[in-house]
């Protein structure tokens, strides 16, 4: 179902179509997110004002909502954009950064799921468990548990929300509540770069804009992230150089790289 | 009129004087903008609050207004700063990021031009055409047309506003409505780095602080950007490394580099 | 009192405990700040909304307040977080970016010191002199005087506020009003990277979370910053590559590096 060829096919379509991805994301990662989207072949736009989010979502091919540095004015923009995107029928990706860390984040995450009806939710294991109302220790925006500990929570969340749910970690899991796809590529250096998860969510937006099968689109996007992280980590002396090589690798990723490295 | 020597003269003056450039810019590019200004020899400051923008513009040598991630509170700060800067007689550079993409951006851009009376406007071809009220397809913040397609629009906009207008692209055009200067240096990898245009606008601010001939200042600034992009691209494996080498190149740019590479 | 071994001991404790550092900081440096904290072994979180700052400070081991791009809504969050952090007894680090440049920054800095009672204040020489109400020329966020010119001001500020005060510059000074520690490592290329001072303040937060002797924690943090800057600068062609190598160096810094390079 997912194999090196299916990944390459979506990547080629992404590069050929260069979908416009509208991001309402956090201050920490905006630069990297935009650069990752450009490098992979998409066209990023960042816009958060209530005055324009519906118009911007209206010309976009996917919307990515990320609550990393939320406040009420931004949340208002997120919800307005999400409603416009859902009405237009474009994919809405939700990245619940730090959910579980504060009551405010929990409340906003619940609101966004209810009102924006995301087609895809990506988080680390702690975040997915928090969203599924399971008891889990949180540590700010970092996960305290491994991805497979959150798999049942992810399945339940998928069934409850109708969204495809992605848990990223040493292994990544992608589920629609029934099927589970697994991506085994990656590098332990990746979580040492801030916002790699946020970048993943944005890249998933670009793939979801290209492939209407959201489960496959998400798996393809996570495979590209993980393969690029693996290639880049081999060239890197630490997280500083990983960030640079990662962007270069997204830009240069070849079908041969994918065929050589993808672990089914 | 513009030649390698005139570029070097302004660059030396910039490095000797280290002008304070006040930026009210977008969240995506603030870090790169500040680093580019430091690397070229200027002193950057970012401040957007209505409570302090007039004071900050009052100690600055140029003001750069960029609407990439605007909202009404920031726009209020932009306009207050622009009025203070114009009253003080320092150059005001306006970067109309994404104008044409939403009605809100169009309305804000019109207001900024009317109230802040920019001395220099820099955008990509789509943005300049949108500002000149010409029909043009937009794609978020990326241009859909080549720079020379916007040359008449740029001339009209310059006449109408009294500002020098810069269109950046594969070739850059700088016009006051009568004269047109052209910069042919650069690299096709530059638009793959987010915010290169925003960086250009900030660098133009630094040059405009040094040279009261805004047409020449703008041409010198665009030449430095394009030459540095060209040098950096040759050392780069992709947009990630370009971003790094570009900053290093701004810092190390020599008169010999300019003399060797500048294309008249 | 401070020596290579005491630095290494705190660094090992930091890496073993990975303290959660809550940052309310400016838009320019958020990405670098988060990456530096991850690289040194801490866990960063950024959250500024009044709705959640007290909860986030409540799970953190240190709070860093930085006014680089302040506005009234953010200041409200800073003060609420500072009060919560002080009540909980975790260290509060205050970075008064650009104080002295505008009356608004002066007023906010005074408020933060009064209400949040920081345990540690770090700034450049101009900022420390401005906080101590001494006459000093300011140039936006860059210092116009050398660090040792501000030493008396730093001592007075420490006595007046009860905070340890750090002046960073070519030499760094750390004082509680009585003792003065000096760090002589570093590189003149460091101030060419935007936000190196902001990164220092965040790293001090991580060290203060580990060592209750704030004077020593601050000296250890500044030593790590300066030694890493020195190592990274030797590998760098300019400020662009310094930023990358600096993060890699924080990640890889060894006891041997510290023993070889630390200048007592």
Residues B1-42: tens digit of each pLDDT? 899 999 999 999 999 999 999 999 999 999 999 999 999 999
Distance from CA of B69 to the nearest CA of A (A): 5
Chain C residues with CB-CB distance to A139 below 8 A: 20, 43, 59
Band the pLDDT of B144: cuts 50, 70, 90: confident
Residue of B nearest to C239 (CA): B248
Return the pLDDT at C144: 76
Please list the residues that pair with C180 across neighbouring strands.
C175
- d(C-alpha A74, C-alpha A30), whole Å: 14
Residue of B nearest to C193 (CA): B35
CB–CB contact B251 C238 (8 Å) = yes
In 3D, which of B47, B41, B110 has the Cα closest to residue B84? Answer: B47
Q: Is C82 annotated as a binding residue?
A: no
Facing residue for A251 by CB, picked from B68, B105, B192: B192
Q: Which of B247, B249, B252 to mutate to test the interface with C (most CBs of C within 10 A)?
A: B247
In 3D, which of C65, C53, C69, C75 has the Cα closest to residue C101? Answer: C69
Distance from CA of B204 to the nearest CA of A (A): 21
Q: Which of A22, A242, A248 to mutate to test the interface with B (most CBs of B within 10 A)?
A: A248
With tokens 């937009």, the residue in question is B138
For CA atoms A243, A247, A250, A256, the dihedral sign is: negative
Residue of A nearest to B32 (CA): A31
Residues A170-182: tens digit of each pLDDT? 999 999 999 999 9
Return the pLDDT at A136: 76
Using only C-alpha atoms, chain B has a radius of gyration, in whole angstroms, of 16
Buried-exposed string C242-252: b where 16+ CB fall within 10 A, e elsewhere:
bbbbbbbbbbe
Q: Tell me what the mean pLDDT of segment C243-254 comes to.
A: 98
Distance from CA of C35 to the nearest CA of A (A): 6
C18, A39 in Cβ contact below 8 A? no
Main-chain phi, psi angles of A164, to 5 degrees: -70, 135
Chain B residues with CB-CB distance to C105 below 8 A: 52
**ipTM confidence:** 0.96
B103, A59 in Cβ contact below 8 A? no
B33, B202 in Cβ contact below 8 A? yes
Q: Which two tokens stand for residue A164?
A: 């495809």
Residue of C nearest to A191 (CA): C38
CB–CB contact A43 B142 (8 Å) = yes
Return the pLDDT at C120: 98
DSSP per-residue string spanning chain C: ---HHHHHHHHHHHHHH--EEEEE--TTTHHHHHHHHHHHT-EEEE---TTTHHHHHHH-SEEEEE-TT--HHHHHHHHHHHHHHHHHT--EEEE-TTTTSSHHHHHHHHHHHHHH--SEEEEEHHHHHHHTT-----BTTB-SS-GGGGHHHHHHHHHHH--EEEEESSSEEEESSS-EEEE----TTGGGSTTHHHHHHHHHHHHHHH-S-HHHHHHHHHHHHHHHHHHHHHT-SSHHHHHHHHHHHHHH--HHHHHHH---
At residue B221, the 3 state secondary structure works out as helix
Return the pLDDT at C71: 97
Q: Say if residue A52's pLDDT is above 80.
A: yes
CB–CB contact B51 C28 (8 Å) = no
At residue B91, the 3 state secondary structure works out as coil
Band the pLDDT of A27: cuts 50, 70, 90: very high
Return the pLDDT at C139: 75
Q: Say if residue A138's pLDDT is above 80.
A: no
Return the pLDDT at A30: 97
A67, A108 in Cβ contact below 8 A? yes
Return the pLDDT at C141: 77
Residues C189-238: tens digit of each pLDDT? 999 999 999 999 999 999 999 999 999 999 999 999 999 999 999 999 99
Q: Say if residue C143's pLDDT is above 80.
A: no
Q: Tell me what the mean pLDDT of segment A68-74 comes to.
A: 98
Residues C150-201: tens digit of each pLDDT? 999 999 999 999 999 999 999 999 999 999 999 999 999 999 999 999 999 9
Residue of B nearest to A35 (CA): B194
Please list the residues that pair with C21 across neighbouring strands.
C44, C62
Distance from CA of B142 to the nearest CA of A (A): 7
Chain C residues with CB-CB distance to A194 below 8 A: 31, 34-35, 38, 44
Q: Is B18 annotated as a binding residue?
A: no
The chain A residues in contact with chain B (CB within 8 A) are: 20, 22, 27, 30-31, 34-35, 38-39, 43-52, 55-56, 59-60, 73, 243-252
Give the end-to-end CA distance of chain C in Å, rounded to a whole number: 10
C205, C182 in Cβ contact below 8 A? no
| Least confident interval from A24-38, A75-89, B132-146, C197-211 | B132-146
Chain B residues with CB-CB distance to C104 below 8 A: 49, 51-52, 55
Distance from CA of A5 to the nearest CA of C (A): 34
Q: Say if residue A142's pLDDT is above 80.
A: no
3-class DSSP string for A233-254: HHCCCCHHHHHHHHHHHHHHCC
Instruction: Please determine, looking at this structure, whether the domain spanning C4-261 carries the CATH number 3.40.1190.20.
Output: yes
**Residue C192: CB partners within 8 Å, gap ≥ 6?**
B38, B39, B251, C238, C239, C242
Residues C8-30: tens digit of each pLDDT? 999 999 999 999 999 999 999 99
Q: Tell me what the mean pLDDT of segment B105-113 comes to.
A: 98
Return the pLDDT at C246: 98
Q: Say if residue A14's pLDDT is above 80.
A: yes
Element housing A169 (H / E): none
Q: Which two tokens stand for residue A99?
A: 């959910």
Q: Say if residue A1's pLDDT is above 90.
A: no
CB–CB contact A46 B29 (8 Å) = no
Residue of B nearest to A47 (CA): B69
- d(C-alpha B19, C-alpha C2), whole Å: 39
CB–CB contact C32 B30 (8 Å) = no
At residue A76, the 3 state secondary structure works out as helix
**Residue A12: CB partners within 8 Å, gap ≥ 6?**
none
Q: Say if residue B43's pLDDT is above 80.
A: yes
The chain A residues in contact with chain C (CB within 8 A) are: 26-29, 31-32, 68-72, 98, 101-105, 138-142, 191-195, 236-241, 243-244
Facing residue for C28 by CB, picked from B31, B43, B243: B31
Return the pLDDT at B134: 87
Q: Is C190 annotated as a binding residue?
A: no
A20, A63 in Cβ contact below 8 A? no
Distance from CA of B264 to the nearest CA of C (A): 28
Return the pLDDT at A109: 98
Q: Tell me what the mean pLDDT of segment A44-73 comes to.
A: 98
Q: Tell me what the mean pLDDT of segment B119-144 comes to.
A: 88
In 3D, which of B66, B6, B35 has the Cα closest to residue B246? Answer: B35
């Amino acid at each position: 179902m997912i194999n090196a060829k299916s990944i390459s096919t979506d990547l080629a379509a992404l590069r050929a179509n260069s979908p416009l991805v509208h991001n309402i994301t956090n201050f920490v990662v905006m630069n990297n997110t935009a650069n990752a989207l450009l490098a992979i072949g998409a066209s990023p736009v960042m816009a958060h004002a209530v005055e324009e989010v519906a118009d911007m979502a209206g010309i976009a091919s996917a919307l990515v909502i990320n609550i990393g540095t939320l406040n009420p004015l931004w949340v208002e923009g997120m919800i307005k954009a999400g409603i416009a995107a859902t009405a237009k029928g474009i994919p809405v990706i939700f990245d619940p950064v730090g959910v579980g860390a504060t009551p405010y984040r929990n409340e906003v995450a619940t609101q966004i799921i209810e009102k924006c009806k995301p087609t895809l939710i990506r988080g680390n294991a702690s975040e997915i468990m928090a969203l599924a109302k399971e008891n889990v220790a949180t540590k700010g925006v970092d996960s305290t548990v491994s991805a497979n500990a959150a798999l049942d929570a992810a399945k339940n969340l998928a069934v409850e929300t109708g969204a495809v749910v992605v848990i990223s970690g040493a292994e990544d899991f992608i589920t629609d509540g029934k099927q589970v796809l697994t991506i085994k590529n990656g590098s332990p250096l990746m979580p040492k770069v801030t916002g790699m998860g946020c970048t993943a969510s944005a890249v998933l937006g670009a793939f979801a804009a290209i492939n209407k099968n959201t489960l496959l689109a998400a798996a393809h996007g996570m495979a590209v992230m993980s393969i690029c992280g693996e290639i880049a980590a081999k060239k890197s002396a630490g997280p500083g150089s990983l960030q640079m090589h990662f962007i270069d690798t997204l830009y240069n990723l070849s079908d041969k790289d994918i065929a050589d490295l993808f672990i089914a």
